[in-house]
Amino acid sequence: MKGPLKLGRHPFTAMGGPCELQVYAESADVARAALAAGEAEVRRLETKYSRYRDDSVTSAINRAAGGAAIDVDAETARLLDYAHTAWDQSGGVFDLTTGALRRAWDFKARRVPSQEQVDEVLRHVGWDKLRWRSPALSLPAGMELDFGGIVKEYAADCAARVLAAAGIAHGFVELGGDIAIVGAHPDGAPWHVGVRDPRDPERAIATLELDGGAIASSGDYERFFESGGRRYCHILDPRSGWPAQGLASVSVVAPQCLVAGTTSTVAMLLGPTEGPRWLEQLGLPHLCIGADGSVHGTLARFAPDPVQRAQRGQ
């Protein structure tokens, strides 16, 4: 007769932030093997799509801009097909070509570019400017792709599948706040997932109970600077070239972390009125926190309003 499952936890750093895998397994050996396989999958994808590595798929694509089309592998083709669908269904709000805007925006230097500088780079932004017909991809000169907007969430989904393939029926994947769940706890209890307060990221503004699926968040608190009384975050709008405004954070629950991450980013860019409305049309549970501290969305009941937070000293 098998004994009770034991929880194994494995923290590590990847994709620019803290990560953790948790699994329930019959033995320490089974847990170690599953956790090692899960981490290996995350690191495989980090290596494959990092824009900081000369040997990555991303760098190879960007080096070919302005030249002949290149053929991509099947996994990259699936991601490009997904990116095209997300671009189309979001009305052009979600766009993997916004990486070029880094030429105008320097968040380390905390410098606000001029409109002329933004407009100059914006000429090289726009999914509709590239040519994609699987497996051939061609980018005009000056354009570039950045898979950073989807690869962490995709990696969370992939790691969850690897854990399941290793025989794990109850597990938890967190990559820098993006989460994919492999079944509830063995006793059927859900996982308790905290949603960060965008103005105090070390604290949770809400706690959700999830026994499957995924959750991802986008916010103006991860990389930003303030100038002239205005906050400039790293989530850049491909239509204007300027950062998202009006929402401090958006968290979305979806069957896949990739979908949750994409839709939370789109909602951030759509703003406090159109963002929640768009998510409601998609039927995805969500929590939107306005830049003014207001709470919106179908999960708003799990977060106290600004007055309650003030009374609690939050």
Q: Are residues 129 and 67 in the same domain?
A: yes
* CA atoms of 295 and 129, how far apart (whole Å): 37
| One domain, residues 178 and 140 | no
Q: Are residues 159 and 272 in the same domain?
A: yes
Q: State whether 134 and 201 are in the same domain.
A: no
| Predicted pLDDT of residue 314 | 47
H/E/C letters for each residue in 88-140? HHCCCCCCHHHHHHHHCCECCCCECCCHHHHHHHHCCCCHHHCEEECCEEECC
Q: Is residue 67 part of a domain?
A: yes
At 15, which amino acid appears? M
Residues 161 and 12 both lie in one domain: yes
CATH number of domain containing 116: 1.10.3980.10
Q: Read off the pLDDT of each residue in 31-57 and give the average, rounded to a whole number.
A: 97
Q: Note the pLDDT of residue 310.
A: 44
State the pLDDT at residue 201. Answer: 85
Decide the pairing of beta strands 191-197 and 200-210.
antiparallel
Number of other CB atoms surrounding residue 292 within 10 Å: 10
Residues 71 and 38 in one domain: no
Per the structure, the complete domain to which residue 172 belongs is given by 6-48+150-311
Q: How confident is the model at residue 307 (pLDDT cuts 50, 70, 90)?
A: very low
Q: The domain spanning residue 36 has which CATH number? A: 3.10.520.10
Instruction: Clarify whether residues 62 and 209 are in a common domain.
Output: no
Regarding whether 159 and 21 lie in a shared domain, the answer is: yes
190 and 281 share a domain? yes
Q: Tens digit of pLDDT for each residue in 76-135?
A: 999 999 999 999 999 999 999 998 999 999 988 899 999 999 999 999 999 999 999 999
In a domain, 1, yes or no: no
Number of domains in the chain: 2
pLDDT of residue 3: 63
Q: From 98, 116, 145, give the residue that closes a domain.
A: 145
If you average pLDDT over residues 9-21, what whole number do you get? 96
Domain boundary residue, one of 95, 121, 145: 145
Last residue of a domain, one of 145, 179, 198: 145
Same domain for 117 and 157? Answer: no
Asked if residue 301 and residue 181 are part of one domain, the reply reads yes
The pLDDT, as a whole number, for residue 223 is 87
Q: Are residues 103 and 244 in the same domain?
A: no
The pLDDT value given to residue 311: 43
